């Protein structure tokens, strides 16, 4: 008898050779009905897999990410069978699962069109209803080569030839009609494939190499339930509506031009938004004991060699010559911060020193990677470098965590946390890296923050905590980071005089909150769908006089609001008032104030808030109080969209 440990820790005794499905049946008939695969000692297997030794087993359903991955991989095989049926003579590449779906690569003379995708999807649905089984078989290398050579499947043959010589090679047959080279696992049958949709077709080089032939890649979506698919499709459409590139142009915030690819141009309204974010940043950092510095954009090669960037980051840097010497445009602000630290002798009493810098950096991104403000070649990092005593590490990390949490709550973002550990291309000793990693873990644990370990994704000089924002469409974006660094102080010979009168080495934190101003503006634009909270809106109030005779009162209202630093403008065009109101809504201005005879006589304003149909009449003093409270409280306005 085998001892099988289940996910809840309970142990069951089963006969050797019992399949995962049979095990699920002994647990409950309901579980067996929804089971699609099993995890045996952390390795996912088909339900038909026979148990041969004691193991830890988890029964997977489509409620789990691993279960969804199995289902999506099976959907890729269903796609391949549909293409085989409709387009005989097609050669097959690979068909893995991906986030939210799957794809398959095809080599065919037929160029797939959107109409073809609809036809293929209909064929997939027809096949799925046939309840075809996925059947696994193992072949020797020679058997597999014979089969796929006979089928003229050159891509499969190439993959087989790359496998180890003695390996048994697994294939999966779908309903006896389509055989694929595949490690699996798969769902039991196609009846479980219900909520899927083909999405697009794109070119893809075989095995990702431009030296190989371009294949046609069909992408599809697949979910456990139709409602999940519908929700995802809704979010895709909503993401298009919220695209910051589209809204940035419509709201006149910024533009991108061929004369400077990856170098954004900010317009006057975009600068108001930037300045509001920067002013908030400065105010909150001053409260927490930060000082602000500014370091040069161009520094010489010797500095970048000393920092390690020349060896570890050179391909992302821009270069120039000055007086026949090599210089580089800074990709990061930290080396300049080191020079500032060394301008005078530091005492242990001076530490910690928290130096903030809104520093413009330049990085050489490939043209194909550029994407609006999300991926640019120059951007402003809201950097800060904290120089501290070893005894201050935990307290300072916690302080940054609390600052990041405060900022993200102000903007209405939820977030997830990852701890990224030592990468292969790194500097420093194992001891320093372990000390730094343990310190970050200790701070997170003390704050009670859940986090995921991201192995090997730290900076080349230290481990880091990354904050991944979750927007209103449940997309995640990496923004804030805290990097603990023992290496840079060593490389730049940073010291302080300790209580013992001797020189000691400080420890350093690199950290950002926004990440980059440009990227954060892109995220805010999409998060709010361009309807920025009142405190951030480039124009907070537009006054709409009903006719020319109300212009004088409109100007009086404008002057009063401007005295309170409210961003206000008047639309005095000879247009109908309903047309003016529609434009205010289109431009997503938080407040429209309609003024006519009644308002001028009584000293009131008719207030129309963005996204609402009703108009409320109130005194000018009442409106001043309303808008000032909204600006002061930094209300997000998300509940009004």
Rounded to an integer, what distance in angstroms lies between the CA atom of residue 426 and that of residue 554? 63
Estimate to the nearest angstrom the gap between the alpha carbon of 543 and the chain centroid: 39
Rounded to an integer, what distance in angstroms lies between the CA atom of residue 526 and that of residue 533? 13
Strand, coil or helix: what is 278?
A: helix
Query: Catalytic site residue 355?
Result: no
Residue owning tokens 């694929």: 180
Strand, coil or helix: what is 565?
A: coil
Contact 75, 101 (CB under 8 A): yes
CA distances to 25, 398, 518, 519, 639 from 625, rounded to whole Å, are: 66, 36, 32, 33, 20
Give the dihedral sign, CA 77/80/85/89.
Answer: negative
Closest CA to 315 of 306, 299, 304, 302: 304
> Catalytic residue among 45, 156, 330, 464, which?
464
Contact 108, 216 (CB under 8 A): yes
Residue 561 in tokens? 């609001």
Closest CA to 320 of 304, 299, 338, 335: 299
Which DSSP string do the residues of 73-137 spell out, in sequence order? HHHHHHHHHHHHHHSTT-EE----EETTEEEEEEE-SS---HHHHHHHHHHHHHHHTT-PBEEEE
CA distances to 40, 130, 338 from 72, rounded to whole Å, are: 20, 18, 50
> Catalytic residue among 285, 309, 422, 510, which?
510
Rounded to an integer, what distance in angstroms lies between the CA atom of residue 433 and that of residue 422? 7
> Catalytic residue among 363, 422, 580, 608, which?
363
- Indicate the pairing of strand 290-292 with strand 604-609: unpaired
CA distances to 18, 402, 634 from 407, rounded to whole Å, are: 54, 9, 11
> Catalytic residue among 199, 381, 392, 540, which?
381
Contact 513, 281 (CB under 8 A): yes
Residue 400 in tokens? 């940054």
Residue owning tokens 């080495």: 505
Phi-psi region of 338 (alpha: psi -120 to 50; beta: other; left: phi over 0): alpha
Q: Which residues contact 442 (CB under 8 A, 6 or more apart)?
A: 394
Contact 454, 468 (CB under 8 A): no
To 5 degrees, how large is the angle CA 253–CA 257–CA 262?
A: 90
Phi-psi region of 544 (alpha: psi -120 to 50; beta: other; left: phi over 0): beta
Query: Catalytic site residue 383?
Result: yes
Query: Catalytic site residue 464?
Result: yes
The four Cα atoms 539, 545, 548, 551 give a dihedral, to 10 degrees, of -70
Taking every pair of C-alpha atoms in the chain, what is the biggest distance, in angstroms? 95
> Catalytic residue among 39, 244, 334, 588, which?
334
Query: Catalytic site residue 468?
Result: no
First to last CA, the chain: 61
Strand, coil or helix: what is 136?
A: strand
Burial of 407 (0-12, 13-18, 19+ CB in 10 A): buried
> Catalytic residue among 346, 362, 385, 580, which?
385
Query: Catalytic site residue 377?
Result: no
Q: Which residues contact 535 (CB under 8 A, 6 or more apart)?
A: 276, 630, 631, 632, 634, 635
Residue 265 in tokens? 């141009």
Query: Catalytic site residue 527?
Result: no
Query: Catalytic site residue 142?
Result: no
Rounded to an integer, what distance in angstroms lies between the CA atom of residue 240 and that of residue 529? 10
> Catalytic residue among 383, 432, 466, 571, which?
383
Q: So which residues are the catalytic ones?
A: 334, 363, 381, 383, 385, 464, 510
């Amino acid at each position: 008898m085998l001892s099988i440990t289940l996910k809840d820790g309970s142990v069951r005794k089963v006969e050797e050779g019992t399949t995962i499905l049979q095990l699920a049946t002994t647990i409950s008939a309901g579980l067996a009905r929804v089971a699609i695969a099993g995890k045996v000692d952390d390795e996912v297997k088909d339900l038909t897999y026979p148990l041969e030794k004691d193991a830890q087993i988890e029964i997977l359903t489509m409620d789990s990410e691993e279960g969804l991955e199995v289902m999506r991989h099976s959907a890729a095989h269903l796609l391949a069978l549909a293409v085989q049926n409709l387009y005989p003579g097609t050669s097959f590449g690979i068909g893995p699962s991906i986030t939210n779906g799957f794809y398959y690569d095809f080599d065919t003379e037929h160029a797939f069109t959107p109409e073809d995708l609809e036809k293929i999807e209909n064929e997939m649905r027809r096949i799925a209803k046939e309840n075809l089984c996925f059947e696994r078989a193992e072949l020797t290398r020679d058997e597999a080569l014979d089969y796929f050579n006979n089928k003229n499947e050159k891509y499969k043959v190439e993959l087989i030839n790359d496998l180890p010589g003695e390996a048994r090679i697994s294939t999966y047959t779908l309903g006896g009609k389509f055989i694929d080279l595949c490690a699996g696992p798969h769902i039991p049958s196609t009846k479980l494939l219900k909520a899927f949709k083909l999405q697009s077709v794109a070119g893809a080089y075989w095995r990702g190499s431009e030296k190989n032939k371009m294949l046609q890649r069909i992408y599809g979506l697949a979910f456990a339930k139709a409602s999940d698919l519908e929700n995802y499709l809704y979010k895709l459409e909503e993401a298009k509506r919220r695209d910051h590139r589209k809204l940035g142009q419509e709201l006149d915030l910024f533009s991108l031009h061929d004369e400077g690819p990856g170098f954004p141009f900010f317009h006057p309204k975009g600068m108001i938004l930037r300045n509001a974010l920067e002013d908030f940043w400065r105010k909150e950092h001053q409260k927490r004991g930060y000082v602000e510095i500014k370091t040069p954009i161009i520094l010489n090669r010797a500095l970048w060699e000393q920092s390690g960037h020349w060896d570890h980051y050179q391909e992302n840097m821009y270069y120039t010559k000055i007086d026949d010497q090599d210089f580089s445009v800074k990709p990061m602000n930290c080396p300049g911060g080191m020079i500032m630290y060394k301008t005078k002798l530091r005492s242990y009493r001076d530490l910690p020193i928290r130096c903030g810098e809104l520093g413009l950096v330049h990085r050489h991104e490939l043209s194909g990677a550029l994407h609006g403000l999300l991926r640019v070649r120059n951007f402003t990092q809201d950097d800060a470098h904290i120089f501290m005593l070893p005894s201050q590490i935990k307290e300072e990390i916690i302080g940054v965590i609390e600052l990041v949490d405060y900022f993200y709550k102000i903007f209405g973002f939820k977030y997830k946390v990852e701890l990224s550990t030592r990468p292969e291309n790194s500097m420093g000793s194992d001891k320093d890296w372990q000390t730094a990693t343990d310190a970050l873990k200790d701070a997170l644990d003390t704050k009670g923050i859940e986090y995921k370990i991201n192995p090997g994704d730290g900076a080349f000089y230290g481990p880091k905590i990354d904050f991944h924002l979750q927007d209103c469409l449940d997309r995640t974006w990496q923004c804030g980071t805290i990097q603990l660094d023992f290496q840079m102080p060593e490389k730049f010979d940073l010291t302080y005089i300790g209580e013992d009168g001797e020189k000691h080495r400080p420890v350093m934190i690199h950290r950002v909150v926004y990440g980059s101003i440009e990227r954060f503006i892109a995220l805010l634009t999409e998060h709010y769908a361009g309807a920025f909270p009142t405190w951030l809106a480039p124009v907070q109030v537009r006054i709409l006089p009903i006719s020319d005779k109300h212009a004088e009162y409109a100007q009086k209202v404008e002057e009063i609001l401007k005295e309170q630093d409210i961003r206000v403008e008047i639309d005095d065009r000879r247009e109908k008032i309903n047309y003016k109101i529609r434009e205010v809504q289109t431009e997503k201005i938080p407040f429209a104030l309609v003024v006519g005879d009644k308002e001028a006589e009584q000293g009131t304003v008719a207030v129309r808030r963005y996204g609402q149909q009703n108009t409320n009449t109130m005194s000018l003093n009442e409106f001043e109080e309303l808008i000032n409270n909204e600006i002061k409280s930094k209300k997000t306005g998300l509940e009004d969209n």
